[in-house]
Every structure is written in structure tokens, then in C-alpha cells.
Structure 1
Amino acid sequence: MKTSNIKKTTWAACLAGTVALGSSVAAEDIIKVRLMGSDLAADIARGAVQSCREMGYQVAAVVLDRAGDTMASQRDTFARRHTLEIAARKAGLSIMSGVASVEMRDSREDIRAELNHMDGIIVMEGGIPIRAAGSLVGAVGVSGAPGGDIDANCANAGIEAVQDRIDFAD
């Protein structure tokens, strides 16, 4: 028997076995995960920075994926270099908690000092989770405006700039 015929026979046997066992595979064995694309992440960061720029503030915006890894970052021309790190850490808090960083700050003031010692997070206002079809797909953090509330407004504006694309996520 030729090697290609053996491969085809083996493949067919494996496929038949998989189909036969398919009913015994638990639903939790395979988990579907929603991921944010890099273009969407870049557009959120750009929208957040643009929103703050229109108000006269130079900021940085960082978008993290659901695992807390950087997908996109943008620093406006005169934003200080530390704004990138702070924005990423604000987004990190939203990834960890699944809520806006201000909600986590307000609800867990009792452990704020401890949380601020963790790598990749800071308990400050300006981090907003990004959800698509009910799933947490990432977070955006903004830093550099004169107040976390303004940072949060710009982060929300970045998400709102692409909301139509998020709403049609399957």
C-alpha cells in the first residue's frame, strides 16, 4: 500500500473515531473565545486620544486584549512618556476586575495599596472594559488628562467610535 493511501486510511479512521466519540465529549472540553482584532484595538486607542485632543488634553491610550497583553497604544505628541505605562496599568485593572477601574477603586478601597503593588495594574480611574457580545475582549486605559474622570470619558469615546463594529460581533 502506498504511503498516501495509508495516510488517507489513517485519517479516515481517526475521523470516524472522532465522530463516534463526539457525543461523549463534554461541552467544557472545547471553549470558544472571542478575541479583539488589532485594527479594532488601534481604532479604539486612536479614538480615545483624538477625543482628549479635541478637549485640549495630551494623553496616551493603551488597549489590552483579554489576557492583558498590549494590542495597541498611542501617545499624543506632547503627552508625557509615563502616560503610556499608567494607561496600560489602568486597563490592566479593568481586565483583572471586568469592570471600569473607577468601580473597582470605589468598591475595593480596602485593598487598594496591595493592588497598586501588583505588576500591570494601578487603582486609578481611566480604565474601561471592552465587551463584545457579552464577552470581555479587552480594556482601554487613558492617562494624561487633568483627572481620571476625563481619562475615562476619552476611553469611553474611543470605544463609542467603533461601537457599531463591536455591536455586530457574533
Structure 2
Amino acid sequence: MIKFARNIALLAAVFSFSASAQTVQVRTLDQAGAESVLQAAKENARKRNAPSAIAVVDFAGDLLAFERMDGVRSASAELAIEKGRTAARLQRPTQEVEDSINHGRTAFVTAGIMSLRGGVPIFVNGKVVGAVGVAGRNKETDAGIAKEAADVVSSAAVANEP
């Protein structure tokens, strides 16, 4: 009987711990968030008169939303997707990869990743939830459009925090 009571007490102690201490909350970029990023990038590209291919991916680099605007080169479609994928998986802008290569870190060239500016991760509470990749006019314009689009979700998430 004492053994049984001890086991019950042990189980009660284990189950009395807070459930939140036993779980991890993971934020993800949903379809609505991806569409917001895509819309922000399209508006920014139009303002700059810079037709672009725009890809929004989740944290693993899988495509959530895409648009190839009129007047952009067909090769830009794949470039945009790969820029977004690289930014999400490396959790940093592709501009940093390009800069690393330009400063002698040539191993990145053989890594099978996109090393062109225009991919920017999307952060929520310091965690990467996705990324946006832009390919169109030139590297500075692509990077600018992507950064402003990524900031739309990051800023909104901060504003919506309790």
C-alpha cells in the first residue's frame, strides 16, 4: 500500500508541472502572412518601376506564394525562389553570402546555395518564420524590395504582441 501511495504521489508531482514548461511554441508564416509579404513587395516594385519575380517561402524554404510581374526576365522566377530559400535556410540575407564570397570566402560558391542579393529572412520574435526572394532589375533594387517586404510581417508581429 505504501508503494502504491508513493507512486500516486510521484505521478501527481509530475503532472502538476506547468504544461507550458513542457511544450515549445513555434511561430510559422501562414498563407495570409505570405500574401501580405507578396503584396508589399509588388507595391514596392511598382513604385520603383522595377518589374520583379517575387517568392515567399516558409522557414524551411518551401514556396508559399509567388508572382512574376509583367516585363521581368523568365530566369528571374527561379532566382527569386532560390534567393528566398537560401535566406530562410541560412537565416540571414543573401547579401551577406554574396559579400562573404566577394571578400574571399569562395567555399560558398560550391555550397549549392544562391549567393545573389535579394533574399531576406522574415523574423518574428527573433526567430526566422520564412523569407522573401526578389529578382528583377538589379541587386540593390532586389535587396531593397525584399527587405521592405520582410519588414511588413516583422513589424506587424511586434505590433500584435501582447
- Which 4+ residue blocks in structure 1 deviate beyond 6 angstroms? none
2:94 maps to what in 1? 101
TM-score, structure 1 normalization: 0.75
Distance 2:11 2:149 in 1: 45
Using the aligned pairs only, state the percent identity: 27
Letter in 1 for 2:41: A
Q: Output aligned runs, 1:16-165, within 5 Å.
A: 21-22=14-15, 23=17, 30-108=23-101, 109-115=105-111, 118=112, 121-145=113-137, 147-165=138-156
Structure 1: state its 5+ residue gaps. 1-16
Q: Distance in 2 between matches of 1:131 and 1:58?
A: 25
How many residues were matched structurally?
148
Is the CA contact 2:134–2:143 (under 8 Å) kept in the aligned structure 1? yes
The CA deviation at 1:20 is: 5.3
1:169–1:85 Cα change, 3 Å: farther
Q: Check the 8 A contact 1:64/1:70 in 2, yes or no.
A: yes
Amino acid at match of 2:109: A
Which secondary structure does the structure 1 equivalent of 2:71 belong to? coil
RMSD: 2.6
Q: Give yes or no for contact 1:132–1:169 (8 Å, CA) kept in 2.
A: no
Q: In the TM superposition, what is the alpha-carbon distance from 1:59 to its structure 2 partner?
A: 0.3
Q: Which runs of 5+ in 2 are unaligned?
A: 1-9
Judge conservation of contact 1:47–1:158 (CA < 8 Å) in 2: yes
**Displacement, 1:138?**
0.6
1:111-131 per-position Cα deviation (integer Å, ceiling 9, x unaligned): 13212xx3xx31100000100
Gap change, CA 1:39 and 1:18, over 3 Å in 2? farther
